[in-house]
Structure 1
Amino acid sequence: MKTLHLATILLTLSGVLTQDREWRVKYPDKPICAVRGFSVSIPCSYSYPQNHQVKQKLWCSMNSNTDFCYKPPYVYNSLSNTKSDFEFTGDDKSDCTLLIHNVQFSYSGEYRFRFITNVTDGRFTGDPGVTLQVTDLKVSLIRLSGNGTLKQGDSLNLRCDVNCTHTSSQFVWSKNNQSLNTSGPVLHFPALTVRDSGKYTCTWETGETSGSETISLHVEDEMIYGETYNSWPFWMVVMVTAGLILVVVIYSRRHVHTEQLKEDDSDIYTTVQYNTFTMN
């Protein structure tokens, strides 16, 4: 009898432990990085006993919530129609992902997900939560040779910096919205040319977010007769060329007209001389 009771107790305890383990909220193991002004997605999953139905989903920021997310305020409440930068993109079953738009420095901190089911005391909060780090993305110009304005032959680096540690991030570069066949945080220019002028954009991407920053380069043309001339825009070249053509046309017409007048004067002089000899 004692053996039977002991087995019953063990089975009961095992069932309780199994049911307790079904209440769970899983966040990323490491902090989430985000670039200020852009959007970030915080992955999240949750589970609960099968005989429960989720009635309310909540996200809280521990910067403003001092009740361990058990009470308001909440940055997201599924029962509220208030619109904000915090958007729930999960579901009522297992996905509790939170999407944050227009991230600001004040959004840095710990976030927790809480859900409430239709069963009395059937509620759970994921503790501890997930940490969000907000930073700026900066593109710096580092001169390797030359000084003053950028000239042909100067050497420089464009460096993309984000003050946030993320193991699976990547850097993508583009020029005038056209992708460049290069990667990494540094874009190297061993010897600048006028063709290197343009707008360069560095995009930092992770599995949860992305951000970009743009910098402009203007490379002056080479030295001509001891003075530096900027490369002319296309419209100016067209206008100058048209002006030169017009001058040539006017000069040619005036030259032809002058020659014609000379020929006319010569004919008149010859006619006068002829008539004079005839009269004599």
Structure 2
Amino acid sequence: MLHLVLILLSLSDVLTQDSNYRVKYADNQICAVRGFSVSIPCSYYYPTSKKVTQMLWCSMNSNKDWCQYPPYVYNSASNTKSDFEFTGDDKSNCTLLIHNVQFSYSGEYKFRFITNVDKWTGDPGVTLQVTDLKVSLIRLSGNGTLKPGDSLNLKCDVNCTQSSSQFVWSKNNELLPESGTVLHFPALTLRDSGNYTCTWKTSTASGSKTISLQVEGNNLEDPESPEDPELWLIWIIVYVIAGVIVIVTVISGAVIYKRRRVHAEDDSNLYTNVKQKKSESDHHGNIRQKKSESDYHGNIRQKQDVSDVYANVKMEEDNFNLYANVS
């Protein structure tokens, strides 16, 4: 009895197909990188007189029939949230977006929709292949730690059969002009150190992987300047500050020297004036002293003259007395 029901349901889908019901997938093979997101583009068609009442996505890993019964990875009649997000609508878009893709998500997926009259499942579905993105370092010369002059390749690889893949490289989040699966370093320099990211892109999926390169060696071995713009800016600021300090120091020294010289000249002139005044004072003092000595000698002379006069008078008086007595 169950088999009869399934046959009738299949016939119903076949009859519906003859009535312009259709599901179209953009690609029947899609690749995805584990841990990233992938989109499964999808469109569906039905007579405009019908109205869509339910939309479903199923994984054939758990649903072995025509998606007629649960489980479903997406059911518009359920509000359950998961990694499977329906980004389409109830008109014509049936695109499914899968987040945080895991290896267990690999397999075939089909879209089914139900109208107020009929139902339809898009068959065959879309096969999803989940893989890891790998970035490998391949030494071409040198051994041990990476040193200036060593040669190597960085290879980006994704084990997927999807066509139209694109590989983009970046260093420290800055996009590089190189593209393709291999990034070649013919002769390493210190400025090649950094974090290199390979980003794999398709029309429906993307993924990236980062590898770090650390080139060791004396800075003198690599005269080239770092290419990191932020490091350039830091060095420019350091040089500007150092230059300003030197200029301010020189100007300050010159000003201080000039002030000290002017002050010294003022002190010298003051000392000269004081010395000059002192010399003039000494000169006047000497003159005064000489004048005083002259007065002194004059007084002595005057006293001597008076004494002489007195002596003469006394002598004359004595002679007179002597003469009178004789008479």
Aligned residue type for 2:132? D
Could you tell me how far apart the structure 2 residues matched to 1:156 and 1:167 are? 27
* 3-state SS in 2 of match to 1:63: coil
What TM-score does the superposition give when structure 2 sets the normalisation length? 0.62
Q: Does 1:116 align with 2:114?
A: yes
Distance in 1, matches of 2:38 and 2:215, equals 36
The equivalent of 1:55 in structure 2 is: 53
The CA RMSD measured in Å over matched residues stands at: 2.3
Over 3 Å counting, the alpha-carbon distance change for 1:19 and 1:130 in structure 2 is: closer
Report if the CA contact (8 A) 2:28-2:125 is conserved.
no
Q: Give the counterpart letter for 2:109 in structure 1.
A: Y
What is the rounded CA distance, in whole Å, between the counterparts of 2:122 and 2:65 in structure 1?
A: 13
Match of 2:290 in 1: none
Partner of residue 174, structure 1: 170
Indicate which of 205, 208, 211 corresponds to 2:207. Answer: 211
How do 1:49-128 and structure 2 match up within 5 A?
49-119=47-117, 122-128=118-124
State the secondary structure of the residue aligned to 1:95.
coil
CA distance in 2 between partners of 1:17 and 1:60 (Å)? 22
Match of 2:217, SS state, is coil
CA distance in 2, matches of 1:90, 1:134: 23
- Give the deviation of 1:18 after TM superposition: 10
**Contact 1:57-1:78 within 8 A present in 2 as well:** yes
Change (3 A) 1:17 1:63: closer
What are the superposed Cα offsets for residues 117-143 of structure 1, whole Å, 9 maximum, x if unpaired?
111xx0000111110000000000000
Runs of 4+ aligned structure 1 residues displaced above 3 Å come to 16-19
- Which structure: greater strand fraction? 1
Q: What does the per-residue CA deviation read over 1:200-235, in whole Å, with 9 as the maximum and x for residues that have no partner? A: 0000000001000000000011498xxxxxxxxx99
In structure 2, the gaps of 5 or more residues are 1-13, 221-230, 239-327
Q: Could you tell me how far apart the structure 2 residues matched to 1:88 and 1:69 are?
A: 16
Match of 1:153 among 141, 146, 149: 149
Given the two structures, how large is their TM-score scaled by the length of structure 1? 0.72
* 1:124-182 per-position Cα deviation (integer Å, ceiling 9, x unaligned): 00111110000000000000000011000000000000000222110010000010011
> Cα deviations across residues 256-276 of structure 1 (Å, max 9, x unaligned)?
xxxxxxxxxxxxxxxxxxxxx
Identity of matched residues, %: 78
Report if aligned partners of 1:61, 1:109 keep a CA contact under 8 Å in 2: yes
Q: Which amino acid aligns with 1:76?
A: Y
Which of the residues 34, 38, 41 maps onto 1:40? 38
Number of equivalent positions:
212
1:19 and 1:49 in contact (8 A); partners too: no
1:20, distance to aligned residue in structure 2 (A)? 1.5
Match of 1:136 in 2: 132
In structure 2, do the counterparts of structure 1 residues 19 and 206 end up closer, same or farther at CA, with 3 Å as the change threshold? closer
- Secondary structure in 2 matching 1:57: strand
Distance 1:198 1:22, change over 3 A: same
Which structure dedicates a bigger proportion of its chain to helix?
A: 2
Q: Partner letter of residue 191 of structure 1?
A: A
Higher Rg: 2
Q: Distance in 2 between matches of 1:18 and 1:91?
A: 21
The one-letter amino acid paired with 2:103 is: F
The answer to whether the Cα contact below 8 Å between 1:152 and 1:222 also exists between their aligned partners in 2 is no
Supply the distance in 1 between the matched residues of 2:44 and 2:85 (Cα, whole angstroms): 17
